[in-house]
Amino acid sequence: MSLTTVHTVADLRATVANWRAEGLRVALVPTMGALHDGHISLTHLAHEHADRVIVSIFVNPTQFAPNEDFGAYPRTLPADQKLLDDAGVELCFAPSVEEMYPDGFATKVSVDGAMTNVLCGAPRPGHFDGVAQVVTKLLLQALPDCAIFGQKDYQQLMVIRRFSADLNIPVEIIGAKILREDDGLAMSSRNRYLTPDERAIAPTLNKVLGDITAKAANGAELGPLLAKGREDILSAGFDPIDYLEVRDADTLELISDTVTKPARIFVAARLGKARLIDNHAIEPA
């Protein structure tokens, strides 16, 4: 079955209705396009959970602040369609901004609490409201059995789990592990902003997270580990570091002494034009 692309909610729903009539299970993989192997790994996981896979491609304006890269965000639909077709994805849903937010659109979805004011939420007010708004719409438009989100955006995954439970959206939310380049750099659409010199520096983030994770899992004090990590990241050429923090894996509450329960270390730092993020699981020994 080759890839079909639709641009309207009506066509998306008609396709899903036909699949439902055949008794097929459906998975949705929301993306902003500029696809890479990390996204494709999500579609493979989706096919393990469903008979038919939809990948949505939509650069959502409501999750970008005015000073961010909405206009410059890479848009590569023909190349994306080729990758999806090669991966055996059945449907690409690529709506326009007008299809998603027609004239008169007035509804917000806002997730409050400790999960959205920290990490990527602190310097980007409104970012997770925009994510919650668009993902709510995509889940209700497609009404799949399950939807796949990468742990690359771990905070986003936790926020999506929160509002989909709170709003009783009947879709199973599945997290997928981070796919990395051979040198450890987490794959990201924004890696294409890096110059060759910056690309050589970029794997430092994963290395620092790995070093801290190994020691923290064995009970080392986090203070000195994080201080040394910050030093290593800055001296590699990143500037500034938005955050380097260890948090509870479920609640995202800050952990500042030692790790005694499943935790996660998070980093966001700027390298040239790119703001890179990464995270690792810390399982106490």
Q: Is 127 a catalytic residue?
A: no
For 63, 112, 278, the CA distances from 161, given in Å and listed in that order, are: 18, 13, 19
Is 194 an interacting residue with respect to ligand AMP (CB under 6 A)? no
Is 38 an interacting residue with respect to ligand AMP (CB under 6 A)? yes
Q: Which of 52, 124, 137, 152 binds ligand AMP (CB under 6 A)?
A: 152
The residue of the chain with the least Cβ separation from ligand AMP equals 150
* Terminal Cα distance for the chain, rounded: 47
Return the number of the residue (71 or 104) whose C-beta is nearest ligand AMP. Answer: 71
Q: Which of 95, 130, 144, 150 binds ligand AMP (CB under 6 A)?
A: 150
With b for 16 or more beta-carbon neighbours within 10 A and e for fewer, the 192-212 pattern comes to: ebbeeebbebbbbbbbbbeeb
Is 39 an interacting residue with respect to ligand AMP (CB under 6 A)? yes
- What sign has the CA pseudo-torsion 53, 58, 62, 65? positive
Distance in Å, CB of 30 to ligand AMP, minimum: 6
Is 187 an interacting residue with respect to ligand AMP (CB under 6 A)? yes
In which element (H, E) is residue 29 found? strand 26-31
Distance in Å, CB of 178 to ligand AMP, minimum: 4
Is 276 an interacting residue with respect to ligand AMP (CB under 6 A)? no
27 contact partners, CB below 8 Å, separation of at least 6: 46, 47, 49, 50, 52, 53, 54, 144, 145, 146, 147, 148
Identity of the amino acid at 45 = L
Where on the chain is the footprint of ligand AMP (CB under 6 A)? 31-32, 38-39, 41-42, 149-150, 152-153, 176, 178-179, 186-189
Give the residue numbers annotated as catalytic, written as ranges.
Answer: 39
